[in-house]
Amino acid sequence: MNQINQISALELPVMEHFYTLQGEGYHQGRPAYFIRLGGCDVGCVWCDVKESWDQDVHPKKSIHEIVANVKETISSGLIVITGGEPLMHPLDNLTSALKEAGYEINLETSGTHIVSGKWDWICLSPKKFKEPLQEILPIANELKIVVYHKSDFEWAEKFAAMVSPDCKLYLQPEWSKADIATPMIINYIKNNPQWTLSLQTHKFIQIP
């Protein structure tokens, strides 16, 4: 790692951090402390956190400050590192500090950058706007495909064939298209039972 990356690894752009319930996927319903990092180069047209894209508008926080903020709220439990695209940043120092403090750490990523950090769970959600790197596919614990259009089922199967046999498979309706996408997903899962439905329950119950 060069000197610039060593410095950047000690500070990260934090858009927001909050304690809530995991709203979707395999860990849905669990209490979790979310750390949302700024910066994303994927550019999903339906992204609901576009304000996360520009990392330069979010304050840089030291690893010590990030961990201290977590400790002020929970002394143990689940931490979710999300974005934006968190793997735009070197995450080894952050995950090492959180691990040392005794936390379980999950990653939510589109997989478009080299994996850094040590993780208990990796949720991979590949997007058509920028495909994931091949290296993340065999280590993903969860594959979550956002369904915006009927063609997304073919996209889902493309990546389901590349992840490990133990990887959990989820289809999730894009929020603005949920009325159309959800019935399509239900019918698809009935015919392809290796998949499971994921819903953004945090939006239904109006929590962060």
pLDDT digits (tens, 9 = 90+) for 161-202: 999 999 999 999 999 999 999 999 999 999 999 999 999 999
Q: Is the pLDDT at 3 greater than 50, yes or no?
A: no
Query: pLDDT tens-digit profile of 116-160?
Result: 999 999 999 999 989 999 999 999 999 999 999 999 999 999 999
Band (pLDDT 50/70/90 cuts) for residue 44 is confident
Burial of 120 (0-12, 13-18, 19+ CB in 10 A): middle
CA distances from 174 to 28, 72, 88, 129, 132 (A): 17, 34, 24, 15, 19
Band (pLDDT 50/70/90 cuts) for residue 10 is confident
- Determine the Cα–Cα distance for residues 10 and 3; give it in Å rounded to an integer: 11
CATH of the domain at 110: 3.20.20.70
Band (pLDDT 50/70/90 cuts) for residue 48 is confident
- As a residue count, the chain comes to 208
What percent of the chain shows pLDDT beyond 70? Answer: 96
Residue type at 58 in one-letter notation = H
What the block records as the tokens of 147 is 């369904």
* Number of domains, the chain: 1
Residue type at 70 in one-letter notation = V
Band (pLDDT 50/70/90 cuts) for residue 6 is very low
What the block records as the tokens of 35 is 């750390």
| Partners of residue 18 on adjacent β-strands | 34
- How large is the average pLDDT for residues 104-127? 97
Q: Is the pLDDT at 5 greater than 70, yes or no?
A: no
Q: H or E element: which one contains 81?
A: strand 78-82
- Among 74, 64, 7, 90, residue whose Cα is nearest residue 34: 74
- How large is the average pLDDT for residues 13-27? 98
Average pLDDT, the chain: 94
Show the domain range for 77: 3-204
Band (pLDDT 50/70/90 cuts) for residue 64 is very high
Beta sheet of 60-62, edge-to-edge order: 60-62, 11-21, 31-37, 78-82, 104-109, 121-124, 142-147, 168-173, 196-197
pTM over 0.95: no
